Amino acid sequence: MLEANLAFYDAFASHDVAAMDKVWANSHAVSCIHPGCWHALHGRAYVMASWRAILTGSDAPPIRCEDPMGQVYDQTAVVTCIERVMQTQLVATNVFVLERGLWKMVHHQA
């Protein structure tokens, strides 16, 4: 699950929409809460549209993940970490489920 978490931040940092798409679950419900004035997004189409907008935008911020800590609960895993976005520090929670033997993201909140 920590590798899946790293893949999420690698996709974000490299502005790679295709890689971001691979991180997220296909057969489970997904949700995302971006920092700032975003509202909660529910459903893969809405979540992926938000990531496309962020990653292809001219003002997509540089980001890095620090101190990821993961817990596995059967077929669900939770990773908490610090996101460094320019001079800002955010606490993030990323939730993953096993989907066809691979950890896939079902929720991100920062």
Q: Do 103 and 3 contact (CB within 8 A), yes or no?
A: yes
Q: Do 110 and 38 contact (CB within 8 A), yes or no?
A: no
**What is the per-residue pLDDT across 10-19, written as a single tens digit (0 to 9) for each?**
999 999 999 9
d(CA 98, CA 79): 14
Residue with tokens 């606490």: 91
Strand partners, 19: none
Tell me which of 60 and 32 has the higher pLDDT. Answer: 32
Which pLDDT belongs to residue 85? Answer: 87
Over residues 50-65, the mean pLDDT reads 89
d(CA 106, CA 95): 6
Q: Is the pTM of this model over 0.75?
A: yes
d(CA 88, CA 28): 31
